[in-house]
Structure 1
């Protein structure tokens, strides 16, 4: 699998998972909340804070005709223009948010939704890009982003294998091979039955790229499981509080939840370790509690060892149990008290 490098972080097999905190609309239209989210992302252990770069006018049109009406789900009753007007991050904030991210020491990047957003982010100096699941089929946009020669993290929610192949080809057609794919279930919130995390490893094998998870499910079990199954990136929505009304709050993590998820991911990575049959120093301390051969009745010199006067019991200070049957029938070379761990020097040749 080909690794990629984002600024100072390697992403791929064998490296710690790269954890992205997605701000999306969780600033609720307040730049102070957006700045606070940058700090909270850093404090919660994220490697990166991500925003989205669009306006209602760059992503749709203001129409109440049926195709533009949201008929079900969290945003039922609104048209697309109203939804995006409530959720978007004003462009005049984005330079300040990037500066804040640099100041606190966390990576910053964005999802552009049209060519003008890409141009704006290029002027801003972003060092990598995200392609959203809903833009997986927008090959002109993908090619334009890829032409900038910067790493791309691309979500694949709703994508068929054929559509993912077309999107990957679009990136590579621009001579850009710095790509990471994200498995994603584009429902809000996602349910475990729809997540199919086994696809992560298969996707990595098919496309020879790092693969991660864009996780819209509640809780952290999917994210931790995905890392254990080889995910190189985890993206999760972060909010200050689900009580702050905005289009993304209901499926976003609060700071204490996000921090716990990061801790659990790092614990899972340590537990995965490497292929090893070595005895660890901590295990070595426990070896005394193994079983071994002990004398359990007083034995006189020359007396025969029997199943009555020696037994395999804890602790592990005597001969290993594999010699038990070999010792039965041999004679004691000296007198031995009950409770003595058996040694070879106590057995006659």
Structure 2
């Protein structure tokens, strides 16, 4: 996985949308592959390695319902490989990180683990590109985590080794808490690539994130949002949604264009710089030796001869020759 400013990467997060049904997980994988995403992503964990059962047994039991065996995850990974699609997973314990490492081209650190330095250290030592989600956090915590990653392994000082994801960990995220402007802020303060992890029910949040600078888009993926109880389905894209997004991305990227404000090639070739702008033309007959003022001129298209910008400075100058109404002027027609 490489991060590029001129390419938008799409990560379809199946996550827990399979709800523990392995056959359903395979169906979702195939649908995501048909949507031509770059990465199909799952979440690999066990309740016992994620939640303290003595503190929150129900939460542990919830996560246990969504787990597969290592062999089943390998089957999913092999299926992705056979389809030419990158397999990935957020993995929330060291043992399974090591077990699946050969299947991962990059590591995804979820928002909940942004402060889990023992897990982050284990990943950073391995030196693969990292995508870091920033839900729940503030700017100081993000800076602290990035510094810890770079101190653990200086390879992450390279700008193509880390991607910082704007994310709000609410399902669904209220519109006024998407905070897409954070994407611009990240681009101001970091040299790393920036992305967006979407939990909005509005799929166009992804379009807007691209226009603000996101180049890695992560979104939950499902077959349908209808008649689903598990919360993640409600913030998920379908195959149709993803294909529609992909149709829009080329226009978004092309329309962003250059940061340099200058006349474009089409504006120059069309001669609109002349035809749309105004020139300075005599309003009346002006005799040689007349001292002119601004009221002696009219400012009309096209910008032939003396432009309207320069015409305003003819005030008080002397005509060097007779001038006819509306004729094209030259600076050589006047002197001080």
Fold-level match, TM-score > 0.5? yes
On the 8 A contact 2:187/2:213 being kept in 1, the answer is no
Gaps of 5+ in 2: none
Q: Quick one: structure 1 residues 277 and 203, their matched pair in 2 at CA, closer, same or farther if it must change by over 3 Å?
A: closer
Q: Return the alpha-carbon distance in structure 2 between the equivalents of residues 249 and 206 of structure 1.
A: 34
**Equivalent residue in structure 1 for 2:196, among 213, 216, 232:** 213
Which structure has more helix as a fraction of its residues? Answer: 2
Gaps of 5+ in 1: 1-5, 70-78
On the 8 A contact 1:20/1:236 being kept in 2, the answer is yes
Q: Return the alpha-carbon distance in structure 2 between the equivalents of residues 100 and 174 of structure 1.
A: 33
Q: Return the alpha-carbon distance in structure 2 between the equivalents of residues 128 and 145 of structure 1.
A: 10
Q: How far apart are 1:121 and its partner, in Å? A: 1.1
Deviations 1:185-235 (A, max 9, x none): 111011233344444455567676444322212324544444444444322
CA RMSD between the two structures: 3.9
Matched, 1:19 2:10: yes
* Structure-1 residue corresponding to 2:263: 279
Q: Return the alpha-carbon distance in structure 2 between the equivalents of residues 308 and 263 of structure 1.
A: 55
Q: Quick one: structure 1 residues 113 and 344, their matched pair in 2 at CA, closer, same or farther if it must change by over 3 Å?
A: same
Larger RCO: 1 or 2 (CA < 8 Å, sep 6+): 1
Q: Return the alpha-carbon distance in structure 1 between the equivalents of residues 42 and 261 of structure 2.
A: 44
Matched, 1:95 2:82: no
Equivalences, count: 321
Deviations 1:253-282 (A, max 9, x none): 233433444555554444444442431122
Superposition pairs for residues 1-349 of structure 1, below 5 Å? 6=1, 9-11=2-4, 14-27=5-18, 29=21, 30-42=24-36, 46-56=37-47, 58-60=49-51, 67-69=56-58, 79-82=59-62, 85=65, 87-88=66-67, 91-122=70-101, 124-160=102-138, 163-164=141-142, 167-168=145-146, 171-172=149-150, 174-175=152-153, 177=156, 178-200=161-183, 209-243=192-226, 245=228, 246-262=230-246, 264=248, 266-284=250-268, 285=270, 286-287=272-273, 288-294=275-281, 299=285, 310-325=297-312, 326=314, 333=321, 336=324, 342-344=328-330, 347=333
Normalised TM-score (structure 1): 0.72
Q: Return the alpha-carbon distance in structure 1 between the equivalents of residues 243 and 327 of structure 2.
A: 50
